[in-house]
């Protein structure tokens, strides 16, 4: 079951997390501004279930893949989406406020909204430096 934390709660959660980390008052103030970077934030969390057939790293990878799929769906709909982690994703207080248990883990925050500027198209890179053609591999016996 998914928990829902409304964005108005995020500034208080982030500021309290900053205070608990003994950050400067300036950094506490900055933490309270983070949620206003986008009109919607999707927090993705691993809800760990001990399962011998699906180890923790596979469960984490599943949440990461789901996060990327949501990001790609946003792009397909003409929205902007940025996946962020950082100290907030690793903070115990933030994890607790999001309704995660001690064995759970915040995988990331997906910030969704209308892009402020057009998304730059990066030039295509050559694959050769990174991959080899399997037919070029010769096995010696």
Show me where the domains of the chain are located.
39-117
* pLDDT tens track for 32-80: 999 998 999 999 999 999 999 999 999 999 999 999 999 999 999 999 9
Q: Please, which pLDDT band fits residue 125 given cuts at 50, 70 and 90?
A: confident
pLDDT tens for 83-100 read 999 999 999 999 999 999
Query: Of residues 1 and 130, which shows the higher confidence score?
Result: 130
In this predicted structure, what is the pLDDT of residue 8? 67
- Packed helices 25-33 and 10-20: angle between N→C axes, nearest 10 degrees: 150
Q: Please enumerate in sequence order all residues whose Cβ is within 8 A of that of 56, keeping only pairs 6 or more positions apart, or say none.
A: 46, 48
Say which residue, 45 or 137, is predicted with more confidence: 45
pLDDT mean across residues, the chain: 89
| Residues 98/14, Cβ–Cβ less than 8 Å | no
Q: In the numeric block, which tokens belong to residue 35?
A: 């949620």
DSSP for the chain reads ------GGGHHHHHHHHHHHTT--HHHHHHHHHGGGGSSEEEEEEE-----TTS-HHHHHHHHHHHHHHHHHHHHHTT-EEEEE-SHHHH-HHHHHHTT--TT-EEEEEEEEE--SSPPPPPPP--STTT---GGG-----
Q: What is the pLDDT of residue 9?
A: 84
pLDDT higher than 50, residue 1: no
Residue 129, SS3 per DSSP: coil
Instruction: Work out the average pLDDT over 97-114.
Output: 95
Answer yes or no: is pLDDT of 4 > 80. no
Q: What CATH class is the domain 39-117?
A: alpha beta
């Amino acid at each position: 079951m998914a928990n829902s934390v409304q964005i108005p709660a995020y500034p208080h959660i982030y500021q309290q997390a900053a205070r608990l980390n003994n950050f400067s008052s300036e950094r506490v103030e900055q933490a309270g501004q983070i949620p206003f970077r986008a009109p919607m934030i999707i927090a993705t969390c691993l809800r760990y279930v001990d399962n011998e057939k699906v180890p923790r790293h596979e469960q984490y990878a599943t949440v990461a893949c789901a996060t990327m799929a949501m990001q790609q769906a946003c792009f397909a709909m003409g929205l902007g989406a940025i996946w962020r982690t950082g100290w907030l994703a690793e903070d115990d207080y933030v994890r607790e406020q999001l309704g995660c248990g001690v064995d759970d883990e915040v995988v990331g925050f997906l910030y969704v909204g209308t892009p402020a500027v057009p998304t730059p198209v990066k030039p295509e890179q050559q694959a050769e430096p990174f991959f080899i053609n399997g037919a070029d591999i010769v096995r010696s016996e």
